[in-house]
Amino acid sequence: MSSASPDKRPKMESALEQLKKHTVVVADTGDFKAIDEYKPQDATTNPSLLLAAAKMPSYQHLLDDAINYGMAKGGSVEEQIENAMDKLFVHFGVEILKQLPGRVSTEVDARLSYDKDGMVAKALKFINMYKEAGISKERVLIKLSSTWEGIQAGRELEEKHGVHCNMTLLFSFAQAVACAEAKVTLASAFVGRIFDWYKENTDRKSFEPHEDPGVLSVTKIYNYYKKFGYSTVVMGASFRNTGQVKALAGCDLLTISPSLLSELSQDHSTVVETLNVEKAKASDLEKVHLDEKTFRWEHNEDRMAVEKLSDGIRKFAADAIKLEAMIKEKILDVKNGK
């Protein structure tokens, strides 16, 4: 009996399919088509992604509906813009949830990053708007900047309101520890932006995946959370290449851009689980506790984290302002009968 010819042999699973066996794959996009193509469990959005999506002709109906909502709510032009923008964020979230089984992350305005009460209020407004659209709060993660104020807003939302939070712009180990102690649902550690900083500020211009500073950061956070039994889960984010993604196979979640999802779907190399609870429990990490004073000092000692957190907040705020300008222009066009 002859063996099967080479072209009849079963094709090796793609790296993406293998990765899904070890890790929850999340799509980092506001583009519904990409979500439909790569079949992630969850999706994450932010002002930058939604600004890009809102410019696409195929999503103009969502923008128009959000503007009508904002105008119908009345108030000053500024209040109408704010309500329209909040509605747009929720509109995208609702549409995304139609295409996946899990959760969507919706981000609170980065300009509130140092205003705990403002973040809590905005988060609860989002949750109420989702409820009006028939979406349970269990399917929504509220994204908050991982400032001290943001982490405490996350603590309050989780404890008092049962609202699940995704702490974003996380670069330092101090931020990660504070998130775990606040018992937030999820912490998003930014692999690619850490990598960018080391490329720009050190003599090293390239790293093998296993020595990549962003990969090492997520690995340490994952091991710490698992070793000490924290409920907070870790999501690697902001990847620059598929090597970084594959080096974190086994992490709780990985949020990946459509371009890298496409590369992974065409990559048939073997993906090996690198992170797991057994390895984490065997690590030599020691438990630490951070009050506000210690958090601020430890975070401040990490130059990379200080610079990338402030830079991330500024960039998300800048894109939120651009989105507001787009909405304002459309509102004024409607008012002027254009």
194-218 burial: b if 16+ Cβ within 10 Å, else e: bbbbbeeeeeeeebebeebbbbebb
Distance linking the first and last C-alpha atoms of the chain: 76
HSE (CB half, 13 Å, CA atoms) of 233? 16
Structure tokens at 109: 């305005």
Helix (H, G, I), strand (E, B) or coil at 172: coil
Which is it for strands 253-256 and 24-28: parallel, antiparallel or unpaired?
parallel
Active site residue 143: yes
Catalytic residue among 116, 143, 226, 246: 143
Phi/psi zone of residue 303: left (φ > 0), alpha (ψ -120 to 50 degrees), beta? alpha
CA pair distance 316, 323, nearest whole angstrom: 11
- Evaluate whether 245 touches 254 at the Cβ level (below 8 Å): yes
- CA 232 vs. chain centroid, Å, equals 14
User: Which residues are annotated as catalytic?
Assistant: 143
